[in-house]
Each structure stands twice: as structure tokens, then as C-alpha cells.
Structure 1
Amino acid sequence: MDIILRNYYKLLGNIDVVLILALIFITTAAIVLGVAVFFTRQGRIQKRLERLLPDQPLPPQPSTNAEGLLRTEKTGSIAKLTRPLHNIIAPKEGSTRKKMRLKLIRAGFRSELAFYNFVAAKIILVLALPTFYVVTRFFYKLTPDVILSCVLLAVLGYFIPDFIVWANIRARQERITKALPDALDLMVVCVESGYGLDMTFKRVGEEMRAISPDVSDEFALTNMEIRAGRSRDESFKEMALRTDVAEVHSLMTMLTQTSRFGTSLAKALRIHADAMRIKRRQLAEEQAAKTAVKLVFPLILFIFPSLLIVLAGPAFIRIYQALLPALAK
């Protein structure tokens, strides 16, 4: 007993070890608590469903791609495990939550679980990165440098999910911009074939699936909103807001004005498609013109020094060998 008490007091005297163990305990407890609450809650829900519907199976999930967009997309089981943590630290209904949801939607994460995934990733990274750093330095003291490193790692872990979402938004916007002229050409074909605007959106959503899933998803989701009873103007505004692409904004504005003033939809779509194609060609020419300027810095920093060493190196060596005896005298 005396040995145990002696080791206990010795452990309390070493504040570094205490802080490390406390940090590990908090991280482990948070993960275990989330898993336990999730499975307990799932068990209660399953029992209630069995009591209410003892002889009826649960309804199957939608099989079509368009209907599946309203439920799950790019989400996994991590969100389900960490969902209880969201109720503690995630912002409630308000402007902050809406902005975060809008960013995730623009990045292609439409499911409600995506928001839990995003918040859970922040929690896990904020706790895991400093914990890993401290554990790797277990045999060192918690100096101010170590504490500062832990703080910086926690801040880095907090902003890593934001950076990933931002990168996904940029990549998705570029994919939509590149594929939109093809979707417009398909819309022109559908309208000239006698399709209405609603059927045109549905057909474009189906045909663009193999070419551009992002454009296909947006057209299919907009068509579903219109079929559900939402006005076309509101559905078009929502599509422009979800994508945050200038070309989509102009397309939705053009469709709204066309349906409002009764002008020829096929002619307007063809003119808009030609304008977008010209704009895309001009953008490609602009990028090609910038290539020469962008190559200047790699040439000066990397290629030019290598050429200088290869071409002038032997001459400098000969000059040095010729002047060395004179300098020695």
C-alpha cells in the first residue's frame, strides 16, 4: 500500500504526465461517449419501430439517383457515430448554421449527415492532433514551445475541414462551368423536339449523368423541386444559389425572363449556349497567354542557374586554376 501511495504522489508531482494522461482521457472519453450514445439511441428507436410496426418491414430507400440526392450523398458512418457531439457544440438553427450548410451543399455534400461529419471532423482533429503530438513527446517536458505547438496544431485541425470544403467547392464549380455548354446544347435539342421546360430539365438530368454528375444532380434536383410544387422562379434561384457559378446565375435569369415575357425558349437557349462557348474559348486563350508569364519564375529560379553552372562552370574553374598560382605568390 505504501508503494502505491508513494507512486501516486510521485505521479501527482509530475505535472507533465498528469496533463498528458488527462488529454488522452478526454479524447478517448469523447469518442467512447459518442459511440455509446449513438448505439443506445439507435436501439431505442429500433425497439419503438418494432412496437409500432411489428409485422411491417421498413420502407426501402429510394433507388433513383435524383431521389437519393435528398437523403444521402458522400457521407459515411463517421457522421452517425459522432452525431451526439453535434448537439453539444454545433450551432443551432440560425444564420451560422445556414451558411455552413450552404457551403457543404456547394461542395456537393447535401445530406443532413454531412453537417454532422463536418462538425465531428473539427472536434476530432482539434483533439487528435495535439494529443498525437504530446504522446510522441511523452518523455519530454511540457515546455512553452510544446504548448505553443499544441495550440497551433489545434488551430490547424479546426481549419482543415474548412479548407477541404473550400477546395471541393472550387473543383465542383470548375466542373459545372466546363460541362454547362453541353447541357445547354442538350436543352436546345429537347426544346426543339417539343419538350416542355420541366421535361427538359428531367431529360438533361438523366442524359448528363455519365458526362457530368454535378450538372446532372443540379438539373434533377431542380426538376424534383418543381414537381413537388415549388414555383419555377424559386427553383431556379435555389439552383443558382446552390452552385454559386456565374454562368448558372445568368442561365437561370434568362430562363426566368423567357418564361415571364413569353419569348422563344429555343432561340434564347441557343444564343446563350453560343455566348458561353465563346466565353469558354476566350478563357482558354487567356490561360494560354498567361502561360509564358508563369514560366518566367521557374526558368529564372531553377533552369537558368543550372544552365549557368553547366555553361560557365568549366570557364570559372579554368580561370580559378590559372589565377591560383598568381594569388599564392
Structure 2
Amino acid sequence: MRRFLLTVFLLVSLVVLGAGGWGLWWVYQPLRLSAPTVELSIEAGTLPRGVAQAVKDAGVDVHPELLYLWFRVSGQDRAIKAGSYELEQGITPHKLLAKLARGEETLRAVTLVEGWNFRQVRAVLLKEEVLKPDTKGLADDALMNLLGRPGQHPEGRFFPDTYTYARGTSDVAVLKRALRAMDKRLATAWAQRSPEAAVKTPDEALILASIIEKETGKAADRTMVAAVFNNRLRVGMPLQTDPTVIYGMGAAFDGNLRKKDLQTDTPWNTYLRAGLPPTPIAMPGKSSLLAAVQPAPSKALYFVGRGDGTSQFSASLEEHNRAVNKYQRGQ
């Protein structure tokens, strides 16, 4: 009897050891996927057994109960985080659990481009298929209320940059990040304001920076463009900048700016109105923000494009007219 029990014990031990050895081997073996990459979405509150089933449903050839057992045995079953994940060929049960426990979600990215207006920002956010469109259909003022900025005009208030987000993230979250980023960039630039800068408040700096952004063909010209507008503001000379007129026209602008447009009054027509317009006209980048508060030391009051993206700057109307004849009329 004793020999029989010993034999049974040995057989059970061998089975357990064999199962343990197979299990150790299995967790390091690549799982078969239904495609080169499959997307796995785990909702908040999903229990480990449900996670295992979700992995199977996503297109991974695995027995859910076996995967669930691995989650439990590892001791990390409660560490699994909700989110969106990309699983690629070659992933093993060990790597899968590590990814889920660390919360290594698949991140998407959206880029807000320097010089864009808020209408363009909203349009690109709506095109992001996995971004939750919570601002869709909201008027701009309602959107700004939602962002905690009631009464603030949205134009120029968002910093142009690339923002990453996970599937299902609200577009409100992306806008809040861009809003905070612009607050920080503007404050940093304002702290470096030159005594020669004509702008008197951070908001004025933001407005001027947006004009500089739209008027600059080459980055190297930014501080000189800033100098022209700075000098005009100081002497009370109208800014006379086309991008502000175009902005004031809104959707009516068809790509061609005509003389009658320059003569049509809007709050943004800097040919007819002195000083800065009431709001920014686009999103300025870091360089334009700095240029607005640190204009180049120059007496220039005019500039004209040379045709290669750069500008010719002049201190007098006579010099400017000669530059216009040379670069615009070929005379």
C-alpha cells in the first residue's frame, strides 16, 4: 500500500511539474493574431476574465480561460488597466500582460499648425476618427464656456503643436492641453518683453504675434516684421496688413483680396482702423510670440515681398516705393 501511494504521489508530482514546465514555456511563445496588428479595447471596470475574453475577441488565437489563468497566476491580474492597445505579431502572453499592466496604450496624434485659425482647428479635430467629438455642434462661445474661459474669444488661444491622445479621448481634453500650452508660452514670452515693445499687455502681444505669424514668409524675417508693426503702433500709423482684412472677411474670402475688400470696414480691417485688431487672427508659434515682445532694433515702417519668401524692409515711403517697383513690378 505504501509503495502504491508513493507511486501515485510521484505520478502526480510529474504531472504538476510537467504542467508547470509547459505553462512556463507557453507564456513566452508568440500568440497567433488574425492580422499583422489587432486593436484591443478594454473598458473601465472590466474584470480579468473579461479582459481575457476581449483579447480573444480582438483576433488573438488564445483560449480565454488559459489566458485568464496566466493573469491570476502572475499576480498582476488586478494591475491590468483599461485603455486602447495595439497588439503586433510576435507578442507573447508574458509581453501582453506586461503591456496591459503598464497601461501602454496606443496613442494617436493630431497636429495643430502654426498660422491656423480656430475654424481650421475645429475641422481637423472633427476628422480624428478615434477622438470623441464632445464639442461637435457647439458654438464657439459655448465651447469656451466648456473649457472654463467664458467670454474669451477662442482665436489664437491654442498653442500649435502635436498632441497625443488615446482612443476615446474627448476633443475637449486636447483643446484644454493646447489652451494651457498657449497660456504657458505666452507668459514665458511676456516675461522676456523688451522695453522697446509697443504692446502693453500679454493679450496685445498675442494679437500682434498672430499677425507676425501670418505675415512672415521666412522665419529669419520675424523680428523685422515685428519691428515694422511695433514702429507703426508707436507713431499711430495704421498697420495696413492684409491677413487681418482676410480674417475679417471670414468665409466670404475666396482667395483673392480686392481693393473693395480693403475699403470694407470690419473690426479687423487695419487699413481703416488704427491700432491692433480686437482679437488674434491665427495661432502664433513660439518664435512669433517672442518676436512680438522682442522686435528687431530698426526704424523700418514698410516691407514688401521679394518673391522668394523673404521681405525687403524700408524706413521711408520713398524707399518702399522703389522696393515695390523692383520686386513687385519688375521696374
More strand by share: 2
Q: State the TM-score, normalized to the length of structure 1.
A: 0.28
More helix by share: 1
Q: State the TM-score, normalized to the length of structure 2.
A: 0.28
